Chains A and B, each alone.
Chain A
Amino acid sequence: MRERDVVRRLVAHAEGRPLPRGTTRQLHVAADEDLLIVAFVRMGGESRPWGIAFGRPGAEPELLTVPEGRNRDLVADMCSRFAPALLRHLRTPGFVDVPPTEAEELRPLRQVWLPNGSHADMLHHLAYAYTFTQWRPEGATTLNPLGRAAGWLFREAQRPGQQHVVTATEALRTSYTFPAQSTRLEHLGFLLTWLDPDVAPGERFAAAHEAEALAVSTALDPVLERSRIEKPLDDWHDARNEGDARRERARASEIARVLEEELRRRYRLTAQAISHLRADGRRTNRGVGRLIDAALEEQWHEHTQPELRHAAGADPPPFTPSPETDRDAAAAGARYMAHLASASLAEAVLLHDDEELQDEAIARGDGFRGTIADVEDRSRGRWMRTAWTVRDENPGPLRLREGSWVSIIGSPERRGTILAVRTGSDGRRTFEVEVSGHVTWPVGSEVGFVESSNHQLSQRKSQLIWSDDEPGSWLTHARPDDDEGRR
């Protein structure tokens, strides 16, 4: 936690309410028809779902449950009923009438909203369970695509700046500073109660604490499992063993009622988070558009294109990443670089349209503000460049050095290099910055610089890493057999 965040939490406490973070909303909230809320519950000790709720905001969710969360056949049946809804939502070839033929046709971007991080982990569990399953004939037609989609969504959820998978708690934490301990901020009910305008400021913590008592993660409250499910489940097993179908159905309904109640709460809270963010009043950061473009490119290359080949019955089938590991050093390296590029892009594009993010960048030393004291045209022939002398009267920490690449705040395409940093005896700093192009701002005007994004460099590296004649290819293109040979 940065010092500025600590202080913001303190101020939020002093004001008795969560404080908005940033002057803009830094994530995309899709329209209802492009947004699917998904919530899971699972049995204690199990990793696969016991029940699934899914639907659009404002509509009643569709609820699927099984009486016995440890029975893999029942769970697989349930998941194969859920699969078409998710796959259609993602416009997966084979599940839509007209499959997309290019990234642009994936617009508008489709989002999956989940209550909190444990539900995102369930995507990983689904990928483990179904990506390569050969369970009954329908495995290949519904469960394998579900596993691949869940795997892609889980991987995408880890990419900085992505817009496809949104966990409601993370969305709220990114948008507000809450006056509470970090440990409590993973609970969606807790966060939403803090944001509830109908709760008096003095009563907010108590109300939030009360909301916190109801589980929102994929696991159920152990007390609930013991008091309302354990016995009916035992009886369901007995009835099944005794061939008493009526009793079996009755117990299954009893269990379903409990699970549906739990699923509904998780679904409803996620829908509330969406409504709250929509009604927040802040406009969406202009940089989000760039992030959506990048997200659609990712979807096209990492999910839709391979699915087109699957749907066409390509032989050999397209490469499907294992849920376990990359199993390919070049692929791992390329994804690492892609993530670096995404992180850099996200930070850069959002910052230029949000004053608070700019202040934060300057406070941690990744930028500076000052007054232009001198402008000198240093163009040579067709090489246009301008040297600016900028005086910073209130210098703070600084991580930038001579040679650092910077951008003018608000104009990310205007880049420059710091030529010199001088600190006077009074502590004030003077920067000499060479700005590319013939840029003449009047002397005396205020200007700010932040570290320039290097996402193109990381993007380029993520492509070069696939080549087997680049430096380091001995590592990225080595095969286990080669190692054996060397030994």
Chain B
Amino acid sequence: MNGSGTARGNTRARFEQWAKNPACRANTLSAVHNVRMADVARRLGYRPSFGQSVFALTRGNNFERQILADGGARLLPELVRHGVLPEGAKGLADLRVRMNGGPLPSLPAAIDATRHWLGVLAGQTDSRTPLPAIIASPTVRIPKGVMLPEAVLILDVLAVRYDQGPPPELIVGEIKTYADRGGHTDPHKLAVARAQAGLYLHALELVLAEMGCSHVRLRRKGFLVLTRPGSNFPSVRAGEDLRHQAERARRGFELLEAAARGLPPFSPVADDPVEAVMRAETEYSEACLRFCDRADQCHASAVVEGNPAVLGDEVRRFLGEVDLGRAVALLNGEDPRSAGERDLLRRLRRAGVGRP
């Protein structure tokens, strides 16, 4: 939930933005240099369309505040009930910044406090020493070399188990405001939440390694905290397997690094960042409709170019290298001009259309 734009330095949203269409250079530039695509769209004369409901934001903040209030009085019992934490687990270390209802003055302070706690946990030698079972909003800066020019991630919540240590075991959790409707919960939203949790798992791995604390155990199965339908009480989904999502994040970081290195030289001070994103090449796909404020402009260009993506990813895959204009010409009886067109015509006939 912390990734919803509460801090400019929070990298999670930018990484996810890039991961939705890594083939688009404009998208890569926007993600790497933290240039909002909404600003680009506005400059191009389009209305940004991915605003967030003011009421939903308030609800999200309230929900997080309520479940963490009084030492996690609402969240702790749910985590125990679902086996994330053992019976008797207690204590909460609040690393939230003030703008999110916490005690810390700034993101750098939250980063320092997180490193402090990770160090304490790594150095724990006696599991009877009372340490918190929940760490709220731990904030990490990913070691240099991963995602340029900065990479700060605010995790929603970490559960800590001491019953099989020392060292303790850390479990990554992701908080969302939507209702847990069992098997009817939106699978797309769940997938996004798991992807975010996997990214945090990977970030923690990197930070612990950098701190020389790799002996701290990180559980590969995390948990999601959703709302009980129609209430502000949490519903915990335990045992969420994050292995593949963490691996996706690792690979994503590598690819993003490589993509960033391939970008034209850019100085955020000297260059106009919005202009730079505007000038960069785009790669329109159906996925853009779900996240990119510039999708309208790219769609209009794709129509002019005869890009089959305007009919969706399935049509684009089906047509391969053939553009829409040629595909329509083949449907209207023109002869194929290339091996690709001949193959397309064969497949069109197999599906029952085209001149026999």
User: Interface residues, chain A, CB within 8 Å of chain B?
Assistant: 1, 3-7, 9-11, 13-14, 43-48, 69-70, 72, 121, 124-125, 128-129, 179-184, 205, 209, 213, 219-220, 222-223, 225-226, 230, 323-325, 359, 363, 396
Contact = CB atoms under 8 A, between A and B. Distances in A.
B331 A225 contact: no
Contacts of A3: 318, 347, 350-351
Contacts of A1: 312, 314
A250 B52 CA distance: 27
Given A128-B229, A181-B312, A14 B331 contact: yes
Contacts of B59: 44-46, 70
Given A6-B318, A10-B331, A13-B324, A181 B55 contact: no
Contacts of B348: 7, 10
B51 A47 contact: no
B286 A182 contact: yes
Interface of A is mostly: helix
Contacts of A180: 311-312
Interface string B249-280: 00000000000000000000000000000000
Given A3-B347, A45-B60, A183-B289, A222 B52 contact: yes
B54 A6 contact: no
A236 B296 CA distance: 38
Contact of A47 (B179, B290, B312): B179
A6 B181 CA distance: 33
B311 A219 contact: no
Interface in B114-151: none
A222 B318 CA distance: 37
A129 B54 contact: no
Given A10-B331, A125-B230, A396-B350, A325 B54 contact: no
A10 B55 contact: no
26 contacts: A6-B314, A10-B327, A14-B328, A14-B332, A43-B53, A44-B57, A45-B53, A45-B56, A45-B58, A45-B60, A47-B230, A48-B230, A125-B179, A125-B230, A128-B229, A128-B230, A179-B311, A180-B311, A181-B310, A181-B311, A183-B290, A184-B289, A222-B52, A230-B55, A324-B181, A359-B352
A205 B351 CA distance: 26
B350 A11 contact: no
B88 interface: no
Nearest to B287: A183
A47 B229 contact: yes
Interface-centre pick from A128, A213, A325 (highest chain B CB count, 10 A): A128
Given A7-B351, A48-B230, A181-B286, A230 B311 contact: no
B331 A11 contact: yes
A325 B184 CA distance: 10
Contact of B182 (A9, A10, A182, A324): A324
Contacts of B52: 44, 222
Contacts of A14: 327-328, 331-332
Interface string B333-355: 00000000000000110111100
A128 B53 CA distance: 23
B192 interface: no
B322 to A, nearest CB: 10
Interface string B289-312: 110000010000001000001111
Contacts of A222: 51-54, 56
Given A7-B351, A184-B289, A230-B54, 7 more contacts: A1-B312, A9-B315, A72-B230, A180-B312, A183-B286, A183-B290, A323-B181
A236 to B, nearest CB: 14
A20 B180 CA distance: 38
B177 interface: yes
Given A183-B286, A363-B352, A10 B229 contact: no
Contacts of B229: 47, 125, 128-129, 323
Interface residues of B, number: 44
B353 A11 contact: yes
Nearest to B285: A181
Contacts of A125: 179, 229-230
Contacts of A13: 311, 324, 328
Contacts of A121: 181, 184
Contacts of B290: 183
A259 B183 CA distance: 31
Interface in B226-240: 229-230
A9 B347 CA distance: 14
3 interchain residue pairs of minimum CB distance:
A44-B53, A45-B59, A45-B56
A53 B343 CA distance: 52
Contacts of A129: 229-230
Nearest to A322: B182
Nearest to B349: A7
Interface-centre pick from B182, B352, B353 (highest chain A CB count, 10 A): B352
Contacts of B286: 181-183
A219 B53 contact: yes
Nearest to A130: B230
A125 to B, nearest CB: 6
Interface-centre pick from B51, B59, B286, B314 (highest chain A CB count, 10 A): B314
Contacts of B56: 44-45, 222
A182 B310 CA distance: 10
B187 to A, nearest CB: 13
Interface string B175-216: 001010111100000000000000000000000000000000
Given A181-B286, A226-B54, A6 B315 contact: yes
Nearest to A205: B303
A363 B229 CA distance: 44
Contact of B55 (A6, A225, A363): A225
A14 B332 CA distance: 9
Interface in B147-187: 177, 179, 181-184
A220 B332 CA distance: 43
B320 to A, nearest CB: 12
Contact of A10 (B58, B289, B296, B311): B311
Contacts of A225: 53-55
A181 B289 contact: yes
Contacts of B184: 121, 124
Contacts of B181: 121, 124, 128, 323-324
Contact of B318 (A7, A43, A45, A324): A7
A82 B60 CA distance: 29
Contacts of A10: 311, 315, 318-319, 327-328, 331, 348
A75 to B, nearest CB: 9
A436 to B, nearest CB: 31
A146 B315 CA distance: 44
Contacts of B53: 43-45, 219-220, 222, 225
Contacts of B58: 45
Interface string B45-68: 000010111111111100000000
A44 B318 contact: no
A320 B85 CA distance: 33
Contacts of A223: 51
Nearest to B47: A213
A226 B311 CA distance: 33
A363 B353 CA distance: 12
B251 to A, nearest CB: 25
A9 B312 contact: yes
Contacts of B289: 181, 183-184
Interface-centre pick from B55, B183, B286, B309 (highest chain A CB count, 10 A): B55
Interface in B11-68: 49, 51-60
A45 B55 contact: yes
